[in-house]
Amino acid sequence: MKSNNIFIISFLTALLTVPTALATIPADTTSPESTTGKAAKTGAHAPTVSSPNNETDIAAETLPKPLPLPETEYAGRNLRSEFMSYTIRRTATAGDRNAEWNYLPLSDFSVRHTPAGEIYSTDVEFPEFWADRIVILHTEGGRNSHTVTFNGQTEGSSRDSGIPSEIELRNGTPRSTNYIEIGIPADTREPESALDDDRQPLSDCFLYSQPRTRIWDYEVSATTEGDDGRLVVDVIVENDYSTPETFGVCFDIFSPDGKVEEYGIREITAAPKSRDTVRLTATIYGAGKRRWSARNPQTYTLTLFIRHGGRILEYVPVNIGFGSTEYRDGNIYRNGEPVEIRYAEYASTTSEALRKDINRLKKEGFNTLWPQRPQPYWFYDICDRMGMYVVDQANINTDYRTDDPRIGGALSNDPAWLGEYLARIEGMYMRTRNHPCIIAWSTGGDSGNGYNMYKAYMWLKKKDPARAVLYRAADGQWNNDIKL
């Protein structure tokens, strides 16, 4: 961590000069996942895109040879909030995965080295109670690409060493030996080549399960109206059965001092093999006096759970911070008050070290952490609880020709890489968007500028208009909300 790098953000309105090139940016909002398919692998550059400085395009023969696109695709990964599904209420409340029998860590891998890369393999016996549940492989590590094969069948693949991948294993057999292979191909390190990485190729792998009537994802709004809070939770639920199923989507919410504030249940009948959204609402009296901020982190605990057939099948805990984060007129506001951000660049090591560092940094006057890439789940949970703002930065950190402004020069101005950039932006956003500690987004580290960074900025502004979007390497261009 660079504790001596102290930065004070002065929230003066930035002069945003929109280049003429913006007029040539396509208006479509194609899903990032779809842009990484076969069409994106042609390596062709969009011929109508102007350069960032509105210069005439340079003939193709004067450009460097196009950088090869990744061989590994994004396929079969669950793109949603990162959460743990618990089967025991007390472990959900404590956030204690190690005490949860639905959590099965994987560490005893054998490794084969091949010309195409490394293959990590292990045998695992599923618990008997997973017989009628959906098993999910959670994978983290310091390598950019990986593929997952389960019992001889390819289940999915992903990239981005900053975002955990979650891939469902559908053909497992409880109380029998199941075979997992995680292949780490010798693929390109782009667009994260600028970061030194001493992490192990696989640093945190585990299995967990969810019921077949389950919480798929959720979107939280926790605003205040006078002295009270207004909680709105849109819960995306899934029925994986081949028949209609009726079940309850339930919640309760506890105050920062452990008092139950509200609870409720909504019954739903879901069609076979479908997803639906259930809206849960509640007025939380007094929450307007306990609004969340880094200075005063009043964190409520929301628990979502599914009741089916007279039994509770899963618990999902969520941190809640009432109040608002807003970017307007060149300033960031929390709960209507301007925030003077003092940030430290930070890379987490352990949860214990993070707690100590937050206490020290707060005494030194810092209120924000700005990591170079997405961090482990516990990083955001601790920042929610201890009161530290976070600028969440996408894992885009390339040093490839960053000073070449031509189309196809810098990777950030190579339209063939747009799908990879947007997949990383979307993965970051979907994973942490509900955390109260997120004060702003960053589209990446110092990676040059151009078409891909423009589109990344536009994607985030459309998905989350309330938060600021930052890019320190924008060099005065319009894709940075605050001039540092």
pLDDT tens digits along 62-88: 667 788 899 999 999 999 999 999 999
* Residue linked to tokens 């057939």: 309
pTM of the model: 0.87
Q: What is the pLDDT of residue 43?
A: 34
Top-level class of domain 89-211: mainly beta
* Beta-bridge partner residues of 266: 249
CA distance 397 to 413: 14
- pLDDT band at 3; cut points 50, 70, 90: very low
CATH fold for domain 2-62+325-474: TIM Barrel (3.20.20)
Domain(s) of CATH 3.20.20.80: residues in the chain: 2-62+325-474
Q: Which residues pair with 165 in a beta bridge?
A: 139
If one compares 283 and 187, the residue with the highest pLDDT of the two is 283
CATH class of 214-320: mainly beta
pLDDT class of 348 with cuts at 50, 70, 90: confident
pLDDT at 9 over 60: no
pLDDT in tens, 152-198: 999 999 999 999 999 999 989 888 899 999 999 989 999 999 987 77
Cβ-Cβ contacts under 8 Å for 442 (sequence gap 6 or more):
370, 391, 392, 393, 394, 469, 470, 471, 472
Q: Where in the chain is the domain with CATH 2.60.120.260?
A: 89-211
- Give which of 362, 418, 354, 406 is closest to 380, Cα–Cα: 354
Task: Return the number of other C-beta atoms located less than 10 Å from residue 128's C-beta.
Answer: 8
Task: Express as a percent the part of the chain with pLDDT over 90.
Answer: 79
**Band of pLDDT at residue 431, cut at 50, 70 and 90:** very high
Residue 173, pLDDT score: 87
| Average pLDDT along the chain | 88
Cβ-in-10-Å burial (0-12, 13-18, 19+) of 142 comes to middle
Where in the sequence of the chain do the CATH 2.60.40.10 domains occur? 214-320
- The alpha-helical segments, DSSP class H, found in 54-165 are 89-94
Share of the chain above pLDDT 70, in %: 87
CA separation (Å) from 69 to 191, 311, 312, 418, 459? 10, 48, 46, 11, 22
What is the residue type of 240? D
| Confidence (pLDDT) at 319 | 98
Q: How far is CA 17 from the centre of its chain?
A: 30
